[in-house]
Amino acid sequence: MDIYKHPTFDMACEQFDLVADLLQMPQSERERVKFPKRSLTVAVPVRMDSGEVKVFPGYRVQHHLSLGPTKGGMRFHPDVALGEVAALAMWMSWKCALTGLPYGGAKGGVACNPRTMSINEVERVTRRFTQEIISFIGPQIDIPAPDVGTNEQTMAWMMDTYSNQFGHAVSGVVTGKPVDLGGSLGRREATGRGVAFLVGRALDTLGIASSGCTAVVQGYGNVGSVAAQKMSQNGIKVIAVSDADGGLYNPKGIDFEKLDAYIAKHRTVLGFTEAEPISNEEILLLKCDVLAPCALERQITAHNAAKIQCRVLAEGANGPTTPDADVILNERGDVFIIPDILCNAGGVVVSYFEWVQDLQSFFWSEGEVMDKLYRILETAFTQTLNMANQRKLPMRMAALSLGIKRVADAKRQRGLFP
Ligand code: NAD
């Protein structure tokens, strides 16, 4: 499928091929399970504040339709490309299957830079993009959620645009909305809290007490900031964090209250004086117990995998570790990996809860949400660990094989139409 050509898509395919061999999946089934079912590319014309009209490329990929509607984030970032979105949609499929959610994976986005745009420009991009893909999404078709560069406000605009088209409020068309519009309590924090919960389970498995541990978090955005703060509340000292502009290092631990106040004013971690500046490359090599990449794909590569110095690699981001880095880490054998499709699954699990609450117009307390979330993550972690131990597999292969097998089984049971 040449249309998806992209290093991140190659990476997702390489992972899939390894698992298909492991599962001894018949050749005749492989392409059907692997390749995205549908994809849509749109041109999004937007009038900028200057009066100039710019056209941004937008994408939505739905990976498989065998278990329910599709589900996945919308990314606003200059590097968004069809192949990247397709890889992220594939990973969403394996993640939903691993955690037992009735969804196929999807992903989408617009190649734009919200950091250099005004809020009005971002709103116009969001609304026009939603309009362009309106027949491709819906509560029973495909349900977007926030990802890099998008947030609750973006989801509110998407929901409003969709609802205006249909003449009534359709809260179930997106998740990760503001709570006032039918969002779920706990959704904003769900991915980061899930990361911190699974870090705790990994440390337990290794027989390491959280208190006295140190952590490094790359990408202090939605996922990274909540993961860092929750780990800190759990007794882990977070010694370094970063964003796209650079990083901060303080061996005594980062003061999050002061850092958040600084970010609220300056919109970056850069220039915060109560820590030393450090680059995004160096931050990954710091000695720590827990390294949590929570930014973008392909950060841990053959170039730096031999040099990372952590006991637990908690993949808050999607696809932060390349397959050749995996080979090096597996040979080293001293790094416990919580693979992305497990580690950051808290987000889609609570998105599923939000969708269920919207469809029923019946809302749950935050306690109920978190309790149900941790139970699902606990089951997925235990199943993955058991599979890894029984079959002597790396955690990533165990998690992927559980997810991919469920999708393959569903396709086999439904059969080939017509
Ligand atoms: P976000 O936009 O809120 O935050 C991303 C952060 O990463 C920002 O602080 C940004 O400045 C930083 N960043 C960007 N490029 C960087 C680089 N090269 N080095 C260091 N930092 C960099 O996005 P998010 O929602 O927190 O998503 C982060 C990752 O988590 C993505 O891989 C996303 O797909 C994944 N994820 C998000 C969710 C969710 O619920 N938001 C759920 C599952 C997985």
pLDDT at 389: 98
Q: How far is the CA of 244 from the centre of ligand 1 (A)?
A: 9
β-pairing verdict for 312-314 and 336-338? parallel
Tell whether ligand 1 has an atom less than 6 A from the beta carbon of residue 243. yes
Q: How high is the mean pLDDT of the chain?
A: 98
| Sole residue written with tokens 């396709």 | 411
Q: Ligand 1 pocket, 81 CB below 6 A?
A: no
pTM: 0.97
Task: Give the pLDDT confidence score for residue 180 in this predicted structure.
Answer: 97
What pLDDT sits at residue 305? 98
Q: Is the domain defined by 188-338 classed in CATH 3.40.50.720? A: yes
Is 95 known to be catalytic?
no
**Both ends of the chain: CA-CA distance in Å?**
23
Domain boundaries defined on the chain: 2-169, 188-338
Please state, in angstroms and as integers, the Cα–Cα distance from residue 354 to each residue in 173, 178, 195, 349, 350, following that order.
Answer: 11, 11, 19, 9, 6
Residue type, 362: F
Contacts of 135 (CB under 8 A, 6+ apart): none
Q: Which two tokens stand for residue 266?
A: 């300056």
Domains 2-169 and 188-338 share a fold: yes
pLDDT tens, position by position, 79-117: 999 999 999 999 999 999 999 999 999 999 999 999 999
Selected catalytic residue, list 34, 71, 95, 107? 107
At residue 1, does pLDDT exceed 90? no
Question: Is the Cα dihedral 126, 131, 136, 139 positive or negative?
Answer: positive
The Cα–Cα gap between 410 and 262 comes to 49
Closest-CA residue to 404 (of 64, 97, 100)? 97
- Ligand 1, atom 9, lies closest to the CA of 221
Which pLDDT tens digit goes with each residue over 323-378?
999 999 999 999 999 999 999 999 999 999 999 999 999 999 999 999 999 999 99
Average pLDDT value for residue range 400-418: 97
pLDDT digits 0-9 by tens, 190-238: 999 999 999 999 999 999 999 999 999 999 999 999 999 999 999 999 9
Q: Fold for domain 2-169? A: Rossmann fold (3.40.50)
Whether 292 and 195 have beta carbons less than 8 Å apart is answered as yes
Over residues 115-170, the pLDDT tens digits come to 999 999 999 999 999 999 999 999 999 999 999 999 999 999 999 999 999 999 99
Q: Is the pLDDT of residue 391 over 90?
A: yes
Query: Which pLDDT score is estimated for 252?
Result: 97
DSSP strand E in 294-384: where? 312-314, 336-338
Q: Is the pLDDT of residue 268 over 90?
A: yes
Ligand 1 touching residue 72 (CB < 6 A)? no
**Number of the ligand 1 atom closest to the C-alpha atom of 176:** 40
